[in-house]
Amino acid sequence: MQDRVYIETSVVSYLTSRLSTDMIVAAHQRFTHKWWEERGPRFEMLISELVYREAAAGDPEAARVRVEAVAEFKMLMISEEAVSLAELLTVRGPIPSEHGADALHIAIAAVNGVDYLLTWNCKHLANAAHRSRIQSLVEGASYICPIICTPEELMED
């Protein structure tokens, strides 16, 4: 059975946008393409209703490209369990309430037993300073916390 990876919206955006003139962002975009081509097929790739809504927002042409990139992936629904867990992560955890969508990404992945949450959001998600607190709250709510990481961290070599 393949490991399951939840593809958060920042990964889809980095995959589908024009190459940035910012060197760091451009490097992240290149890692995203490399991961997508070389590692992605080894996983069951999942999105959620939230990812779909975020990907479909904004410039219509860019949104069309983002949505097409994830069109074949299984979509996880936003459940009451996930909403409750997201609230816990914002009320008692390190994620500010104004960034509740970030907490909801974690919660959807955890409630659905996903192995990895792939993201370029290093402020609230793939953040070593927050990782143990997020894991403690998720596991305290009787779920297994997905491994939250960037495409670069999930490369085999």
Q: Give me the pLDDT at residue 1, please.
A: 81
In Å, how far from its chain's centre is CA 31? Answer: 15
Give domain limits for the chain.
Answer: 4-149
Q: How far is Cα 106 from Cα 51, in angstroms, rounded to an integer? A: 12
At 110 the pLDDT is: 98
pLDDT tens, N- to C-terminus, the chain (157 residues): 899 999 999 999 999 999 999 999 999 999 999 999 999 999 999 999 999 999 999 999 999 999 999 999 999 999 999 999 999 999 998 999 999 999 999 999 999 999 999 999 999 999 999 999 999 999 999 999 999 999 999 997 6
Its pTM stands at 0.96
Q: Note the pLDDT of residue 156.
A: 77
In our burial notation (b when 16+ CB lie closer than 10 A, e otherwise), range 6-29 reads: bbbbbbbbbbbeeeeeeeeeeebb
User: Which residues lie across from 75 on neighbouring strands?
Assistant: 47
The CATH number assigned to the domain with range 4-149 reads 3.40.50.1010
